[in-house]
Amino acid sequence: MYSVELKKLIEKMKLENCTPDINIEDIKIAQTDVNRPALQLAGFFEHFDSDRVQVIGHVEHAYMQKMEKDHGIGIMKKLLEYKVPCIVFCRNLPITDELIELATEYGVPILRSSKTTSSFMAEVIRWLNVELAPRISIHGVLVDVYGEGLLIMGESGIGKSEAALELIKRGHRLVTDDVVEIKKVSDDTLIGTAPDITRHFIELRGIGIIDVKTLFGVESVKDTQSIDLVIKLEEWNKEQEYDRLGLDEKYTEFLGNKVVCHSIPIRPGRNLAIICESAAVNYRQKKMGYNAARELYNRVTNNLKKKDN
């Protein structure tokens, strides 16, 4: 289970804190979904998920306005007793002084947003899905090549950083070197980022640490990138059979998500940067519906049929 600080949500969504007397430093959010407490305002608290951010929209606010004062205070007290992370009023809806005093007493922050309820909920859920996503750290290099996230893996010292440096010189962008933090934001998408301490740095054996952003400019780096393709570098083994056609895709798995993977044998004279670029472009072609290996197979098959006839 991961969590995100409430103050980070306030900063990201530009929320107005209507209860400044409450200490929000220790309040954390651990649920990606949000809740509109319409049923709770009507008095139904069964199956109430109190760990979610509570969102008040125009409908809930109009219902609160029609409630008798004593009854409304009683309902809000019961809601606040659940110690929800916060209550957000959308559309800059007015908030009564009684509610602010009550929320301050129970230690539940009351926040306000100018966004419409639907757009605010969609934005918060999307952001929380990224912040609270399952994650792992692996050894590798992540580069944005023609818009495709290329994760280069292999044993230490095999040439991952050198390949990334050559790709950067060819106009592509570095995301992270050495350590890649991978987040699973959906069943189809993996996002890679760099640890704060090593962001924009590359280690080259014999030279040391290189600041890519300083040497090559801000256009040579990127903070996050989806992981679309994996390149595994390995020592050349003449006893091993390597795929020469690419008819059948091979995959590697991170956090339950499968990613297309190519094993590239390393021997003197092979230009890794060009190989990585070609792999990225070929992957992009396949996404657009063109498979060169399948096209060659079809040509050979058709040619054999013509000879038989």
Annotated binding site for Mg(2+): 161, 203
Phi, psi of 287 (to 5 degrees): -65, -30
Catalytic residue among 83, 126, 139, 169: 139
Is residue 244 among the annotated active site residues? yes
Q: Is 248 among the residues known to form the active site? A: no
Active-site position among 36, 51, 178, 199? 178
Q: Give 151-218 as a DSSP string.
A: EEEESTTSSHHHHHHHHHHTT-EEEESSEEEEEE-SSS-EEEE--GGGTTEEEETTTEEEEHHHHH-G
Q: Report CA-CA distances (Å) from 54 to 60, 118, 168, 204, 256.
A: 11, 13, 45, 49, 31
Q: Is 160 a catalytic residue?
A: yes
Binding positions for ATP: 154-161
Whole-angstrom distance, CA of residue 191 vs CA of residue 148: 12
Q: Binding site membership: which residues?
A: 154-161, 203
One-letter identity of residue 99: L
Annotated catalytic residue within 52, 112, 115, 160: 160
Residue 174 to residue 220: CA distance in whole angstroms: 6
Residues labelled catalytic? 139, 160, 178, 244
